[in-house]
């Protein structure tokens, strides 16, 4: 299914699994792989977690291991990890090397489980796909091994999913802003990845009243499992809610799904919108007018296009979705959401992951003066005097700590990011 | 293309008396190495390393008019971002406004290819590279996956070569072949030697031209200082493969000599150039610190019979630099140092600290061999007892050693030492000077400032911790290093 790609975005399945596992406190990923996979996955996904890159245990398979197998090495590596890491949960990842020679990580992990250790196998090998598949695989591992049945629902508990750690460079701040808003509605929020949450939050996620998936397409299977196995329904919000218009819609949808007090919901909306517009009133529309392009993952592409068109009166010309997408209905959901603009004429929409082809598309729109993209598009922008606002993954020429670009407050940060000399 | 015999197979571990897994006191290691009685060992538990592909790719990514193809799953290009960042920083520092990015294509091997072979995708990638960029060179990097499934990239490229003017260069850098990052550099340079060199040496040499082998981790400021030092000897540099090009590679044979900025970068290739083309070379040390910079300069001068000029330059530079070190020395004298770095840089840092009167208590370096023994014997003449951990990073061992040795300062990647509250500094900087005589002044200021202002690390340590159990810090740091036959 994978195609030849120029300037690929992100790492392999292992990178995506790491985005899930390494972002949960108290989990130790163990690489049963060649020597470079810990670094490649971390650099490829911009993963900066404490147990990522060379801080991960790794069997560092060598030629003799490829020939003779490395089960013994895997066992001594797991033993060492259990001995020195102050953690209780270990996940064994399968690199291409172990995957191709057919290492039986399941039996090895089973053996540890029989002896009372929480050592979980993840069989999907590196070559099985990209980091997005890895994110799905990571969630599946949690669902199959960690999430426990709950006898009753916990009132007001929701799971907030769909913002992918590291793949969304602003994931921490984005989770924080949406969590802040949901808390104002009186809710408790499981993200698994922020506020020092641990596997305990994962375990208890079955008691949630609702899964809120902020993403137009990811976690389809996981949401079905939550629904069928644990009776947790899903509210899918198809794209990052950025700015007052979409965030207010988001808040109302959550309110409806949980049957929250309408007065409370409207009061929160009024207060937050007032906050946002008090700043817009001071700053005005500082950007003037731009015809803009977006080159990004679907979550950001939908959110940024709608915000810039609906709330900031910029003119969308072209949106290029960079993630490989396979289900036609997912593509349609994205197209529908982008086309559903209040005043602006909808942009042209493309699905393309290959850098050269993306540039070929952009060249058809010489009128574009502003581009929302990743660090990869900087070259094209800088050499064509286009204002480049790098917000999308991969973002390797900018440091993001806790800034968010979603919700009410985040949309003001996004406005700050937009302005530059070009 | 001239087929050239290579005596060295490109795998550092295959050289005699080379060790990756070793840890002991300096005296024990030096003595046992001398007696050739160090047994091969392996870590039964270890953390991640670098693979060859990371280093092969990053060594070459600043080459002009080239396209880089990773014949691998998508993930193996992860570390390419590091090369791209370095390349862009280099352009920014040189004032280049029209930004260039290395052209990188991945064949994206998947489950189907692992079973059916990836030849079709490799052909497609090469054809795309040619059509899109009409490059002079296309480098194709193998991977663990392509290696194990047995894709014969040499034959595929040989076959495709008739269709294009671009020179197709296969690089054999399967990750599982070596634990030593230098093997990745060797694979890249060997490929240059095999596929890109002119058929015969030119009749005339370019006067004063020296091949300067450098990885891409050299900062712009460092290139300025290297060029200044070479210019004082009447020489000018042909950088290979850093910021290099097809034309510069063709000029390798016109050079009067070769040298390298790093002990383990280009050493084997320079040997090959000497044997094949009679180009003499100087293989010494990384020019960081007074002793190493002197040694490096003398090495270069010797090849050009300019020893006298070198001594005069060294005298002048000492006169200029050493007095300025006095106030730095006052601050740093006697401070106990732990160093972690790559092969060239770790030993260079260890020699450098003597310039400031500091004391070595521990050093982590990726490989131990006869070359390392040379350095260690020199270090032994200055520092009495210190620990040598032959390790590529291995943060768990580093954390244990730091808490055991309690140094005053840590030199290396600061990620883990900072969480333990140690003042940290580094002699690797992609943006600032580290090398030559100017580098000594800069590093002196840097080390003394960073050491005297450790606020960030102190406060960070009060609020964070490393993921290891308290008991690990009480344990033997080298307990997982088992000699062959031990269990």
Question: Does A60 sit within 8 Å of B46, measured CB to CB?
Answer: yes
Q: How far is CA B178 from the centre of its chain?
A: 15
pLDDT of residue B487: 60
Tell whether the model's pLDDT for residue B5 goes beyond 70: no
Output the pLDDT for position B10: 87
Q: Which of B104, B178, B468 sits opposite A6 (nearest CB)?
A: B104
Q: Taking each helix axis as running N to C, give the angle between helix B290-303 and helix B343-355, from 0 to 180 degrees, rounded to the nearest 10.
A: 120
Shortest Cα distance from A129 to chain B (angstroms)? 6
Return d(Cα B334, Cα A340) in angstroms, integer. 69
Backbone angles phi, psi at A396, to 5 degrees: -110, 5
pLDDT digits (tens, 9 = 90+) for A158-178: 999 999 999 999 999 999 999
Going by their DSSP bridges, the two strands B209-214 and B236-241 should be labelled as parallel
What class has domain B50-178?
Answer: alpha beta
- Two tokens, residue A68: 């003779």
Cβ within 8 Å of residue A288, ≥6 positions away = none
Dist CA B376 CA B25 (whole Å): 11
Checking if the pLDDT of B98 tops 90, the result is no
Domain A13-145 fold: Rossmann fold (3.40.50)
Q: Distance (Å, rounded) from C-alpha B62 to C-alpha B203?
A: 29
Q: What is the dihedral of CA B308, B309, B315, B319, to 10 degrees?
A: 170
Cβ separation of B74 and A79 shorter than 8 Å?
no
Mutation to test the A interface, candidates B10, B49, B73, most A Cβ within 10 Å: B73
Chain B CB contacts of A6 under 8 Å are 103-105, 128, 132
**What's the mean pLDDT in A191-207?**
97
Whether A208 has a pLDDT exceeding 90, the answer reads yes
Q: What is the DSSP letter of B175?
A: G
Number of C-beta neighbours around residue B164 at 10 A = 17
pLDDT at residue B8, rounded to an integer? 83
Interface of B with A in 255-314 (CB under 8 A): none
Nearest residue in A to B53, CA atom: A36
- A310 in B contact zone (CB under 8 Å): no
B176 touches chain A (CB under 8 A): yes
Q: Are B370 and B17 in contact (CB under 8 A)?
A: yes
Query: Is residue B43 within 8 Å of B52, Cβ to Cβ?
Result: no
Which residue from B minimizes the CA distance to A62?
B176
Alpha-carbon span B429 to A204, nearest angstrom: 46
What Rg value do the Cα atoms of chain A yield, rounded?
Answer: 22
Q: Is A206 exposed, middle or buried (0-12, 13-18, 19+ CB in 10 A)?
A: buried
For residue A390, list chain B residues with Cβ-Cβ distance below 8 A.
Answer: none
Which chain B residue is nearest to residue A1, measuring alpha carbons? B110
B265: left (phi over 0), alpha (psi -120 to 50) or beta: beta
Q: How many CB pairs under 8 A join A and B?
A: 232
Residue with tokens 């694979």: B187
Contacts of B85 in chain A (CB under 8 A): 396-397
Assess A298–B contact: CB distance below 8 Å, yes or no: no
Q: Which CATH number fits domain B309-483: 3.40.50.1980, 3.40.50.300, 2.60.120.10, 1.10.10.10?
A: 3.40.50.1980
> A15: which chain B residues are within 8 Å (Cβ-Cβ)?
75, 78
Strands of B110-174, DSSP E: 137-141, 167-171
Q: What was the pLDDT predicted at B202?
A: 80
Nearest CA in chain B to A384: B98
User: How large is the average pLDDT for residues A16-31?
Assistant: 97
- Of the candidates A18, A48, A11, which has an alpha carbon nearest to the alpha carbon of residue A169? A48
Q: pLDDT digits over A29-84, tens only?
A: 999 999 999 999 999 999 999 999 999 999 999 999 999 999 999 999 999 999 99
For the stretch A255-307, pLDDT in tens is 999 999 999 999 999 999 999 999 999 999 888 899 999 999 999 999 999 99
How much is the CA Rg of chain B, to the nearest whole Å? Answer: 23
Q: Which residue has the higher pLDDT, B3 or A329?
A: A329
Residues of chain B positioned with their CB less than 8 A from the CB of A14: 75
- CA A39 – CA A95 distance, rounded (Å): 12
Nearest to B144 by CA among A97, A33, A103, A61: A97
Short-list B76, B146, B123, CA closest to B104: B76
Q: Say whether residue B327 is in contact with chain A using an 8 A CB cutoff.
A: no
Would you call A127 and B79 a contact, using CB atoms and an 8 Å cutoff? no
The domain locations on chain A are: 13-145, 157-280, 285-418
CB-based contacts of B86, cutoff 8 Å, min separation 6: B58, B61, B62, B216, B217, B430
The overall average pLDDT reported for chain B is: 94
Angstrom distance (rounded) from CA B83 to CA B81 = 5
Q: Which two tokens stand for residue B176?
A: 């599982």
Smallest Cβ–Cβ distance between A34 and the set B81, B144, B472 belongs to B144
The shortest C-alpha distance from B402 to chain A (Å) reads 16
Q: How many angstroms from the chain centroid is the CA of residue B69? A: 22
Q: Is A57 exposed, middle or buried, given 0-12, 13-18 or 19+ CB atoms closer than 10 A?
A: buried
Among candidates A39, A127, A129 on the partner chain, residue whose Cβ is nearest the Cβ of B50: A39
**Domain B209-306 -> CATH class:** alpha beta
Measured CA distances, B124 to A4, A343, B49, B165 (Å): 7, 44, 31, 16
The mean pLDDT of chain A is: 97
Residue B114 φ then ψ, to 5°: -60, -30
Residue spans in chain B of domains classed CATH 3.40.50.1980: 50-178, 209-306, 309-483
Model confidence at B3: pLDDT above 60:
no
Question: Are A35 and B48 a contacting pair at CB < 8 A?
Answer: yes
Q: Which residues in chain B are closer than 8 Å to A25, comparing Cβ atoms?
A: none
pLDDT at B444: 93
Check pLDDT > 70 for residue B446: yes
Q: From edge to edge, which strands make up the β-sheet containing B209-214?
A: B236-241, B209-214, B257-260, B281-282
Q: Dihedral of CA B229/B231/B234/B236: which sign?
A: positive
CB contact under 8 A, B128 and A6: yes
Q: Residue B108 and residue A76: Cβ atoms within 8 Å? A: no
Fold annotation for A157-280? Rossmann fold (3.40.50)
* B360-402 tens-digit pLDDT: 999 999 999 999 999 999 999 999 999 999 999 999 999 999 9
Q: C-alpha angle A188/A190/A196, rounded to 5°?
A: 105
Please state, in angstroms and rounded to a whole number, the distance separating the CA atoms of residues B172 and B152: 10
- In sequence order, what are the residues at sequence separation of 6 or more whose Cβ sits closer than 8 angstroms to the Cβ of residue A369? A290, A291, A292, A386, A387
Q: Between the CA of residue B14 and those of A202, B147, B183, what are the distances in Å?
A: 47, 19, 10
Q: Closest approach of chain B CAs to the CA of A52, in angstroms?
A: 9
Q: pLDDT by residue (tens digit) across B457-470?
A: 999 999 999 999 99
- DSSP-derived secondary structure for B231-273: HHTT-EEEEEETT--HHHHHGGGG-SEEEESSTTSSHHHHHHH
- The two tokens of residue B465 are 């911790």
User: Taking CB atoms and an 8 Å limit, are B74 and A5 in contact across chains?
Assistant: yes
Rounded Cα distance between B23 and B249, Å, is 40
CA of A345 to nearest chain B CA: how many angstroms apart?
33
- Provide the Cα torsion A322, A328, A330, A334; round to 10°: 70
Residue of chain B nearest A393, judged by CA positions = B81
B177 neighbourhood in chain A, CB within 8 Å? 62-63
The three-state DSSP-derived secondary structure of chain A is CCCCEECCCCCEHHHHHHHHHCCCECEEEEEECCCCHHHHHHHHHCCCCCCCHHHCEECCCCHHHHHHCCHHHHHHHHHHHHHHECCCEEEEEECHHHHHHCCCHHHHHHHHHHCCCEEEEECCCHHHCEHHHHHHHHHHHHHHHCCCCCCCCCCCEEEEECCCECCECCHHHHHHHHHHHHHHCCCEEECCCCCCCEHHHHHHHHHCCEEEEECCCCCHHHHHHHHHHHCCCEEEECCCCEHHHHHHHHHHHHHHHHCCCHHHHHHHHHHHHHHHHHHHHHHCCCCCCCEEEEEECHHHHHHHHHHHHHHCCCEEEEEEECCCCCCHHHHHHHHHHHHCCCCCCCCEEEECCCHHHHHHHHCCCCCCCEEEECHHHHHHHHHCCCEEEECCCCCCCCCCCCCCCCHHHHHHHHHHHHCCCC
pLDDT at A233 over 60: yes
Contact B175 A34 (CB under 8 A): yes
**Predicted local distance difference test score (pLDDT) of residue B1:** 39
CA angle A322, A174, A155 (to 5 degrees): 120
3-class state of residue B391 by DSSP: coil
Q: Chain B contact for A399, CB < 8 A?
A: no
Q: Which residues of B touch A28 (CB under 8 A)?
A: 467
With tokens 């919000």, the residue in question is A237
CB A228 within 8 A of CB A149: no
Rounded to an integer, the average pLDDT of B156-163 is 97
CB pair distance less than 8 Å for A36 and B175: yes
Q: Which of residues 380-419 of B touch A (CB under 8 A)?
A: 392-396, 415-416
State mean pLDDT over B224-242. Answer: 96
Q: Are strands B336-340 and B409-411 parallel, antiparallel or unpaired?
A: parallel
Determine, for residues B107 and A79 on separate chains, whether the beta-carbon distance falls below 8 Å.
no
Task: Judge contact between A12 and A2, C-beta under 8 A.
Answer: no
How confident is the model over B310-369, as pLDDT tens digits? 999 999 999 999 999 999 999 999 999 999 999 889 999 999 999 999 999 999 999 999
Q: Is B123 on the interface with A (CB under 8 A)?
A: no
A383 contacts B144? CB cut-off 8 A: no
DSSP B364: E
End-to-end CA distance of chain A: 39
Task: Write out the H or E segment, with its range, that includes residue B355.
Answer: helix B343-355
Interchain contact, A397 vs B85, CB within 8 Å: yes
Does B4 have pLDDT greater than 50? no
Q: What is the DSSP letter of B217?
A: T
CATH topology of domain A285-418: Rossmann fold (3.40.50)
Report, as an integer, the average pLDDT of B159-180.
Answer: 96
Q: Is the predicted pLDDT of residue B308 greater than 80, yes or no? A: yes
For the record, the structure tokens of A154 come out as 């916990």
Closest Cβ–Cβ partner in A43, A51, A83 for B81: A43
Compute how many other C-beta atoms are within 10 angstroms of the C-beta atom of residue A116.
6
- How many C-beta atoms lie closer than 10 Å to residue A175's C-beta? 24
Question: In angstroms, what CA-CA distances link A180 with A184, A186, A251, A268, A408?
Answer: 6, 10, 12, 11, 10
pLDDT of B300 above 60? yes
Phi, psi of B248 (to 5 degrees): -65, -35
């Amino acid at each position: 299914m994978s195609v030849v790609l120029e300037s690929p975005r992100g790492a392999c399945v292992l990178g995506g699994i790491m985005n899930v596992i390494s972002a949960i406190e108290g989990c130790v990923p163990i690489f049963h792989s060649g020597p470079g996979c810990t670094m490649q996955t971390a650099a490829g996904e911009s993963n900066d977690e404490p147990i990522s890159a060379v801080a991960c245990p790794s069997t560092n398979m060598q030629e003799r291991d490829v020939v003779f197998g490395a089960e013994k090495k895997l066992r001594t590596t797991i033993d060492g990890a259990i001995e020195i890491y102050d953690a209780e949960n270990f996940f064994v990842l399968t690199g291409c090397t172990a995957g191709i020679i057919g290492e039986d990580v399941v039996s090895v992990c089973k053996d540890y489980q029989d002896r009372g250790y929480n050592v979980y196998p993840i069989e999907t090998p590196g070559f099985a796909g990209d980091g997005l598949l890895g994110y799905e695989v990571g969630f599946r591992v949690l669902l199959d091994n960690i999430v426990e049945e709950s006898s009753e629902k916990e009132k007001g508990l929701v799971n907030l999913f769909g913002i992918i750690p590291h793949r969304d460079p602003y994931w921490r701040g984005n989770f924080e802003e949406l969590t802040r808003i949901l808390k104002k509605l009186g809710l408790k929020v499981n993200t698994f990845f922020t506020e020092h949450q641990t596997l305990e939050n994962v375990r208890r996620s079955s008691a949630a009243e609702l899964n809120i998936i902020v993403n137009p397409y990811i976690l389809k299977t996981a949401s079905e499992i939550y629904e069928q196995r644990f009776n947790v329904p899903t509210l899918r919000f198809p794209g990052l809610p950025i700015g007052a218009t979409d965030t207010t819609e988001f808040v109302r949808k959550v309110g409806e799904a949980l049957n929250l007090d309408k007065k409370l919901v409207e009061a929160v909306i009024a207060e937050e919108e007032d906050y946002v517009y008090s700043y817009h009133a001071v700053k005005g529309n500082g950007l003037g007018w731009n015809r803009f392009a977006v080159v990004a993952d679907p979550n950001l592409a939908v959110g940024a296009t709608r915000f810039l068109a609906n709330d900031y009166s910029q003119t969308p010309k072209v949106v290029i979705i960079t993630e490989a997408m396979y289900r036609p209905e997912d593509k349609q959901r994205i197209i529908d959401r982008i086309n559903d603009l209040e005043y602006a004429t909808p942009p042209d929409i493309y699905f393309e992951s290959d850098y050269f082809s993306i540039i070929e598309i952009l060249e058809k729109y010489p009128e574009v003066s502003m581009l929302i993209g990743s660090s990869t598009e900087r070259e094209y922008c800088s050499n064509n005097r286009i204002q480049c606002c790098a917000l999308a993954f991969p973002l390797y020429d900018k440091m993001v700590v806790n800034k968010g670009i979603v919700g009410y407050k985040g949309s003001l940060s996004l406005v700050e990011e937009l302005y530059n000399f070009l | 293309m001239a087929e050239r015999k290579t005596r060295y197979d490109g795998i550092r571990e295959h050289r005699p008396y080379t060790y990756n897994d070793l840890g002991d006191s300096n005296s024990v290691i030096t003595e046992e190495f001398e007696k050739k009685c160090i047994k091969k060992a392996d870590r039964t538990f270890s953390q991640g390393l670098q693979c060859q592909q990371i280093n092969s790719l990053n060594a070459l990514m600043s080459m002009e008019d080239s396209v880089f193809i990773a014949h691998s799953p998508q993930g193996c290009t992860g570390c390419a971002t590091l090369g791209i960042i370095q390349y862009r920083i280099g352009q920014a520092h040189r004032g280049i406004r029209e930004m260039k990015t290395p052209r990188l294509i991945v064949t994206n091997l998947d489950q189907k290819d692992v079973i059916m072979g990836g030849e079709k995708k490799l052909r497609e990638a090469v054809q795309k590279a040619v059509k899109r960029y009409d490059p002079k060179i296309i480098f194709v990097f193998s991977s663990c996956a392509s290696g194990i499934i047995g894709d014969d990239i040499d034959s595929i490229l040989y076959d495709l070569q008739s269709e294009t003017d671009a020179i197709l260069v296969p690089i054999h850098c399967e990750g599982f072949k070596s634990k030593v990052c230098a093997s990745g550099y060797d694979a890249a340079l060997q490929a240059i030697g095999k596929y890109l060199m002119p058929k015969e040496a030119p009749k005339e040499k370019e006067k004063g031209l020296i091949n300067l082998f450098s990885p891409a981790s050299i900062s712009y400021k460092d290139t300025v200082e290297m060029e200044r030092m070479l210019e004082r000897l009447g020489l000018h540099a042909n950088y290979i493969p850093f910021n290099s090009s097809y034309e510069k590679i063709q000029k390798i044979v016109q050079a009067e000599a070769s040298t390298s900025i790093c002990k383990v970068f280009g050493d084997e290739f320079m040997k090959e150039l000497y044997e094949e083309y009679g180009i003499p070379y100087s293989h010494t040390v990384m020019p960081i610190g007074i002793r190493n910079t002197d040694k490096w300069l003398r090495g270069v001068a010797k090849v050009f019979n300019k020893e006298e000029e070198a001594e005069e330059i060294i005298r002048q530079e000492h006169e200029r630099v050493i007095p300025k070190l006095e106030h730095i020395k006052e601050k740093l004298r006697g401070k106990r140092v732990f160093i972690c770095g790559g092969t060239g840089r770790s030993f260079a840092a260890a020699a450098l600290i003597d310039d400031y009167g500091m004391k070595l208590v521990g050093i982590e370096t990726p490989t131990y061999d006869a070359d390392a023994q040379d350095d260690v014997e020199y270090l032994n003449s200055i520092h009495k007892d210190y620990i040598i951990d032959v390790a590529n990073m291995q943060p768990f061992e580093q954390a244990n050693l730091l808490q055991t040795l309690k140094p005053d300062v840590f030199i290396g990647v600061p990620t883990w030492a900072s969480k333990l509250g140690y003042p940290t500094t580094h002699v690797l900087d992609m943006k600032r000077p580290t090398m030559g005589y100017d580098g000594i002044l800069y590093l002196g200021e840097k080390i003394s400032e960073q050491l005297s202002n450790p606020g960030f690390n102190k406060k960070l340590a009060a609020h964070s911790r490393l993921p290891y159990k308290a008991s690990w810090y009480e344990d033997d740091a080298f307990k997982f290093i088992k000699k062959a036959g031990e269990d």
